Structure 1
Amino acid sequence: MTLPTTHNDDFAMQILHLDSSILGTASASRKLSFNIVARLVALHPDSQVIYRDLASDPALHLSSEHLAAWQGAGAKGDLLTEDLFKGNAYLQELLESQVVVIGTPMYNLTIPTPLKAWIDRIALVGKTFHYTADGPEGLLKNKKAYIASSRGGIYSEGSPAAPLEHQESYLIGLLGFLGISEPTVIRAEGLAINAQVKDSAIARALETIAAINE
């Protein structure tokens, strides 16, 4: 899959594109996220795209060794050192981007673990949120987010399985916590029911993406 990336130093905005599905080219969420980015680049031709395939190149999950390194104990081993640099890059890419596009399937009612590992590196007190006398406050205001969501079943509001949905709701809550309010969710669900439902759901999502005009 070729990403619609430009290399103009005078880009209008930076788009951070994240994918987390393990299905590669067979992934519905990857198809949706790719088309969202393509639409945004078509609207803003001078944009720069930073792409992260979190499934193929995941960060390590947090450990006591990470915490010790952050507290000044130093990194133990090349693997941890490399991973700490990766986490720093995650944070810098997010801070420098005006738009983030997150491709996420639902796995076992929630997000894939590589996406959670990314979140654990960018949700940092003093960097992307801080605490005030009135509670936590997000520091990533004035950014826009798109969530490209795919699900095998039907979990949207009003469905019998809606109370089990911890994928989109978690990401919306997390982004809001960081100051990115009202992300746009573009969803294709029911993909495991049958081929007709799958094709129809993806077609509707692609129509929604084609109508993006901001």
Structure 2
Amino acid sequence: MSKLLHIDASILGGNSVSRQLTAQIVASWRAGHPATEVSYLDLAADAPSHLSAESLGFRLPAGSAQSEVQQRENAVSEALVSQFMAADVIVVGAPLYNFSIPTQLKAWIDRIAQVGRTFKYTDKGPVGLAGGKTVIVASSRGGVYSTSDAGNAMEHQESYLKTVFGFFGITDVRFVRAEGLAMGDAAKAAALTAADLEVKAVAAPAANQPEATLAA
């Protein structure tokens, strides 16, 4: 039985397009992989705190004395990284907020980016330790960024997520994108129609993925 981790980060609740897309992706994946076990993480409702001196306990040497606060924060980080490492598939809802990802999603990434767990350093540079997973990102955007060099230079959402998951050793990173959502009803309808087709495509095995979908 494979394990799928479903993550939402949008603060818009029922009005969120990224949440709509992640739900569709998970349903589509389960239709093609009925034995999949799904766990859910809503970062808008239950986000870890941002990194601080107290929440860096997971970076201290084993056996180091920790305060009660550090122990509590370390338990949060341990639970999140263990959940991530146990998953075979991760579906991430990632709306574009101010040219980047939601701060809640960044806080989660900072907790799972742990030396010795998701990556390590060697004399030849960093090596990812979380390879073999599939990550599917539901990317939602009010404007259009994918069709011009200027737009691509402005977005630090998809580019960042592809980089950070790649740093963890994950090479199968797929994107379902809905952009232009704030540019009128017609543009939004077209974006959702295009995204619906992409949702059906990403549930296929990696070998069957269109190159544009994987490299988006």
**What TM-score do you get using the length of structure 2 for normalisation?**
0.88
> 2:161 maps to what in 1?
171
Asked if the contact 1:69–1:75 (Cα under 8 Å) also holds between the matched residues in 2, the reply is no
Distance, in Å, in 1 between the alignment partners of 2:102 and 2:192 is: 20
Q: 1:125 aligns with which of 115, 119, 127?
A: 115
> 1:144 maps to what in 2?
134
CA RMSD in angstroms comes to 1.6
The answer to whether 1:74 aligns with 2:66 is yes
> 2:209 maps to what in 1?
none
> 2:174 maps to what in 1?
184
Deviations 1:14-72 (A, max 9, x none): 00111100001110011111111111111111111110000111100010122357533
Change (3 A) 1:199 1:83: farther
Q: SS of the residue aligned with 1:148? A: strand
Asked if the contact 2:138–2:176 (Cα under 8 Å) also holds between the matched residues in 1, the reply is yes
Asked if the contact 1:66–1:75 (Cα under 8 Å) also holds between the matched residues in 2, the reply is no
Asked if the contact 1:17–1:37 (Cα under 8 Å) also holds between the matched residues in 2, the reply is yes
Q: How many residues align?
A: 201
Task: Give the gaps of 5 or more residues in structure 2.
Answer: 206-216
| Structure 1 stretch displaced more, 156-165 or 18-27 | 156-165
Change (3 A) 1:68 1:123: closer
Q: SS of the residue aligned with 1:88? A: helix
Q: 1:112 aligns with which of 102, 106, 121?
A: 102
The answer to whether 1:103 aligns with 2:93 is yes
Asked if the contact 1:19–1:52 (Cα under 8 Å) also holds between the matched residues in 2, the reply is yes
Distance, in Å, in 2 between the alignment partners of 1:150 and 1:25 is: 14
Q: SS of the residue aligned with 1:30? A: helix
Asked if the contact 1:192–1:198 (Cα under 8 Å) also holds between the matched residues in 2, the reply is yes
Give me the identity figure in percent: 44
Q: SS of the residue aligned with 1:172? A: helix
Q: SS of the residue aligned with 1:146? A: strand
> 2:199 maps to what in 1?
209
Distance, in Å, in 2 between the alignment partners of 1:197 and 1:182 is: 29
Task: Give the gaps of 5 or more residues in structure 1.
Answer: 1-11
The answer to whether 1:87 aligns with 2:74 is no
Asked if the contact 1:15–1:101 (Cα under 8 Å) also holds between the matched residues in 2, the reply is yes
The answer to whether 1:47 aligns with 2:36 is yes
Distance, in Å, in 2 between the alignment partners of 1:152 and 1:36 is: 20
Asked if the contact 1:129–1:140 (Cα under 8 Å) also holds between the matched residues in 2, the reply is yes
Q: How far does residue 84 in structure 1 lie from its aligned partner after superposition?
A: 3.0
Q: 1:17 aligns with which of 6, 16, 32?
A: 6
Change (3 A) 1:101 1:34: same
Distance, in Å, in 1 between the alignment partners of 2:57 and 2:30 is: 41
The runs of at least 4 aligned residues of structure 1 exceeding 6 Å deviation read none
**What TM-score do you get using the length of structure 1 for normalisation?**
0.89
Deviations 1:144-195 (A, max 9, x none): 1101000011111425322111000000000000000140111000111111
> 1:7 maps to what in 2?
none
Change (3 A) 1:76 1:70: farther
Distance, in Å, in 2 between the alignment partners of 1:179 and 1:42 is: 27
Q: SS of the residue aligned with 2:41? A: strand
